[in-house]
Amino acid sequence: MLATFDLPAVRRFAAELDTRRAGCSNDEGTFCSDLDEALGCHAAVCAELRDVVSRWAREVFSGRSECDPEVEAVFKAELQRALNEARPLIEYGRSVESECFTLERLVTLEAWAADFAFLLSNWSSPQRSVAPAPRVTPNEPADKQIRERVSDLPPLPEDWRPKDRRQARLFDRRPKS
Protein backbone atom coordinates (compact mmCIF):
# COMPACT_ATOMS: atom_id res chain seq x y z
CA MET A 1 0.00 0.00 0.00
CA LEU A 2 1.26 3.44 -0.86
CA ALA A 3 2.09 5.95 1.86
CA THR A 4 2.85 8.81 -0.54
CA PHE A 5 1.94 9.46 -4.14
CA ASP A 6 5.28 10.70 -5.41
CA LEU A 7 6.46 9.32 -8.75
CA PRO A 8 9.12 6.86 -7.45
CA ALA A 9 6.66 5.37 -4.93
CA VAL A 10 3.95 5.01 -7.58
CA ARG A 11 6.39 3.34 -9.98
CA ARG A 12 7.44 0.90 -7.25
CA PHE A 13 3.79 0.16 -6.55
CA ALA A 14 3.14 -0.47 -10.27
CA ALA A 15 6.15 -2.81 -10.45
CA GLU A 16 4.88 -4.72 -7.38
CA LEU A 17 1.47 -5.12 -9.02
CA ASP A 18 3.10 -6.42 -12.19
CA THR A 19 5.06 -8.95 -10.16
CA ARG A 20 1.93 -10.05 -8.30
CA ARG A 21 -0.05 -10.39 -11.55
CA ALA A 22 2.77 -12.45 -13.06
CA GLY A 23 2.60 -14.75 -10.03
CA CYS A 24 -1.12 -15.35 -10.43
CA SER A 25 -0.52 -18.57 -12.37
CA ASN A 26 -0.90 -21.64 -10.23
CA ASP A 27 -0.30 -25.24 -11.32
CA GLU A 28 -0.72 -27.05 -8.03
CA GLY A 29 -4.35 -28.18 -8.15
CA THR A 30 -6.89 -29.21 -10.73
CA PHE A 31 -7.44 -27.28 -13.93
CA CYS A 32 -10.60 -25.58 -12.63
CA SER A 33 -9.27 -24.75 -9.19
CA ASP A 34 -6.07 -23.32 -10.73
CA LEU A 35 -8.10 -21.16 -13.09
CA ASP A 36 -10.35 -19.97 -10.27
CA GLU A 37 -7.28 -19.14 -8.16
CA ALA A 38 -5.79 -17.15 -11.06
CA LEU A 39 -9.07 -15.27 -11.51
CA GLY A 40 -9.16 -14.50 -7.79
CA CYS A 41 -5.54 -13.39 -7.76
CA HIS A 42 -6.11 -10.99 -10.67
CA ALA A 43 -9.29 -9.68 -9.03
CA ALA A 44 -7.40 -9.00 -5.78
CA VAL A 45 -4.71 -7.09 -7.66
CA CYS A 46 -7.41 -5.08 -9.46
CA ALA A 47 -9.11 -4.29 -6.15
CA GLU A 48 -5.88 -2.99 -4.67
CA LEU A 49 -5.10 -0.93 -7.77
CA ARG A 50 -8.57 0.63 -7.79
CA ASP A 51 -8.31 1.42 -4.10
CA VAL A 52 -4.98 3.19 -4.57
CA VAL A 53 -6.20 5.17 -7.60
CA SER A 54 -9.29 6.27 -5.63
CA ARG A 55 -7.16 7.27 -2.63
CA TRP A 56 -4.85 9.26 -4.92
CA ALA A 57 -7.82 11.11 -6.46
CA ARG A 58 -9.19 11.91 -2.97
CA GLU A 59 -5.75 13.13 -1.86
CA VAL A 60 -5.53 15.45 -4.86
CA PHE A 61 -9.11 16.65 -4.38
CA SER A 62 -8.51 17.42 -0.72
CA GLY A 63 -5.25 19.26 -1.49
CA ARG A 64 -2.99 16.84 0.39
CA SER A 65 -1.26 15.83 -2.88
CA GLU A 66 -0.55 17.56 -6.14
CA CYS A 67 -1.83 16.10 -9.41
CA ASP A 68 1.44 15.10 -11.04
CA PRO A 69 0.79 14.26 -14.73
CA GLU A 70 3.50 11.59 -14.63
CA VAL A 71 1.86 9.87 -11.64
CA GLU A 72 -1.46 10.07 -13.44
CA ALA A 73 0.11 8.49 -16.54
CA VAL A 74 1.52 5.62 -14.45
CA PHE A 75 -1.90 4.97 -12.90
CA LYS A 76 -3.65 5.06 -16.27
CA ALA A 77 -1.07 2.75 -17.80
CA GLU A 78 -1.41 0.34 -14.89
CA LEU A 79 -5.21 0.36 -15.19
CA GLN A 80 -4.91 -0.36 -18.91
CA ARG A 81 -2.35 -3.12 -18.31
CA ALA A 82 -4.60 -4.77 -15.71
CA LEU A 83 -7.55 -4.52 -18.09
CA ASN A 84 -5.53 -5.97 -20.99
CA GLU A 85 -4.44 -8.92 -18.86
CA ALA A 86 -7.90 -9.52 -17.41
CA ARG A 87 -9.83 -9.60 -20.70
CA PRO A 88 -8.23 -12.74 -22.20
CA LEU A 89 -8.46 -14.49 -18.84
CA ILE A 90 -12.15 -13.62 -18.62
CA GLU A 91 -12.80 -14.82 -22.18
CA TYR A 92 -10.99 -18.08 -21.47
CA GLY A 93 -12.87 -18.49 -18.20
CA ARG A 94 -16.19 -18.01 -20.00
CA SER A 95 -15.25 -20.56 -22.64
CA VAL A 96 -14.38 -23.29 -20.12
CA GLU A 97 -16.87 -22.41 -17.39
CA SER A 98 -19.24 -25.21 -18.38
CA GLU A 99 -16.43 -27.75 -17.86
CA CYS A 100 -15.70 -26.37 -14.41
CA PHE A 101 -19.36 -26.09 -13.40
CA THR A 102 -18.68 -22.71 -11.85
CA LEU A 103 -15.83 -20.29 -11.54
CA GLU A 104 -16.77 -18.22 -8.50
CA ARG A 105 -14.22 -15.47 -9.05
CA LEU A 106 -14.90 -14.93 -12.74
CA VAL A 107 -17.77 -12.52 -12.06
CA THR A 108 -15.58 -10.50 -9.69
CA LEU A 109 -12.84 -10.10 -12.27
CA GLU A 110 -15.44 -9.20 -14.91
CA ALA A 111 -16.75 -6.47 -12.62
CA TRP A 112 -13.24 -5.05 -12.15
CA ALA A 113 -12.62 -5.16 -15.90
CA ALA A 114 -15.88 -3.29 -16.54
CA ASP A 115 -14.97 -0.75 -13.86
CA PHE A 116 -11.51 -0.17 -15.35
CA ALA A 117 -12.89 0.11 -18.89
CA PHE A 118 -15.44 2.68 -17.72
CA LEU A 119 -12.87 4.59 -15.69
CA LEU A 120 -10.39 4.76 -18.57
CA SER A 121 -12.97 5.76 -21.18
CA ASN A 122 -14.37 8.49 -18.90
CA TRP A 123 -11.10 9.56 -17.31
CA SER A 124 -11.07 12.97 -15.71
CA SER A 125 -7.89 14.21 -14.07
CA PRO A 126 -8.44 14.91 -10.38
CA GLN A 127 -8.32 18.53 -9.34
CA ARG A 128 -8.01 20.24 -6.02
CA SER A 129 -11.28 21.37 -4.56
CA VAL A 130 -11.65 25.12 -4.33
CA ALA A 131 -14.23 27.21 -2.57
CA PRO A 132 -16.55 29.27 -4.74
CA ALA A 133 -14.96 32.48 -5.94
CA PRO A 134 -16.13 35.75 -4.40
CA ARG A 135 -18.89 37.50 -6.24
CA VAL A 136 -17.68 40.21 -8.54
CA THR A 137 -19.54 43.48 -8.75
CA PRO A 138 -20.67 44.17 -12.30
CA ASN A 139 -19.18 47.07 -14.18
CA GLU A 140 -21.20 50.30 -14.33
CA PRO A 141 -22.97 49.75 -17.71
CA ALA A 142 -23.97 46.18 -16.71
CA ASP A 143 -25.17 47.36 -13.31
CA LYS A 144 -27.30 50.05 -14.94
CA GLN A 145 -28.81 47.56 -17.39
CA ILE A 146 -29.64 45.08 -14.59
CA ARG A 147 -31.33 47.80 -12.52
CA GLU A 148 -33.38 48.97 -15.52
CA ARG A 149 -34.57 45.45 -16.31
CA VAL A 150 -35.58 44.79 -12.71
CA SER A 151 -37.44 48.10 -12.45
CA ASP A 152 -39.32 47.33 -15.70
CA LEU A 153 -40.72 44.08 -14.32
CA PRO A 154 -44.43 44.25 -13.49
CA PRO A 155 -45.34 43.83 -9.83
CA LEU A 156 -46.76 40.56 -8.61
CA PRO A 157 -50.55 40.40 -8.21
CA GLU A 158 -51.73 41.05 -4.65
CA ASP A 159 -53.12 37.52 -4.22
CA TRP A 160 -50.07 35.74 -5.68
CA ARG A 161 -48.54 32.86 -3.66
CA PRO A 162 -45.83 30.36 -4.58
CA LYS A 163 -47.16 26.93 -5.54
CA ASP A 164 -44.49 25.03 -3.63
CA ARG A 165 -45.57 24.56 0.01
CA ARG A 166 -42.10 25.22 1.44
CA GLN A 167 -41.72 28.40 -0.57
CA ALA A 168 -45.26 29.48 0.39
CA ARG A 169 -44.42 29.15 4.10
CA LEU A 170 -41.36 31.35 3.66
CA PHE A 171 -43.37 33.77 1.55
CA ASP A 172 -46.05 34.05 4.24
CA ARG A 173 -43.42 34.75 6.92
CA ARG A 174 -41.84 37.63 5.05
CA PRO A 175 -42.05 41.03 6.71
CA LYS A 176 -45.00 43.08 5.52
CA SER A 177 -44.17 46.71 4.95
Mean pLDDT of 116-134: 85
What is the C-alpha to C-alpha distance for residues 43 and 29, in angstroms, rounded to an integer? 19
Q: Where are the domains of the chain?
A: 7-121
- Residue 89 confidence class, pLDDT cut points 50, 70, 90: very high
From the list 2, 8, 45, the residue with the least C-alpha distance to 23 is 45
- Residue 103 confidence class, pLDDT cut points 50, 70, 90: confident
Contact in structure between 113 and 87 (CB atoms under 8 Å): yes
Percent helix, strand and coil across the chain, each rounded to 5?
A: 65, 0, 35
Q: Which residues contact 125 (CB under 8 A, 6 or more apart)?
A: 67, 69, 72
By mean pLDDT, which of 45-54, 79-88, 130-139, 148-157 is the weakest? 130-139
Residue 123 has pLDDT above 90, yes or no: yes
Instruction: Collapse the DSSP code of 68 into the 3-class scheme (helix H, G, I; strand E, B; otherwise coil) and give the result.
Output: coil
pTM, whole model, 2 decimals? 0.70
CB neighbour class for 142 (10 Å; exposed up to 12, middle 13-18, buried from 19): exposed
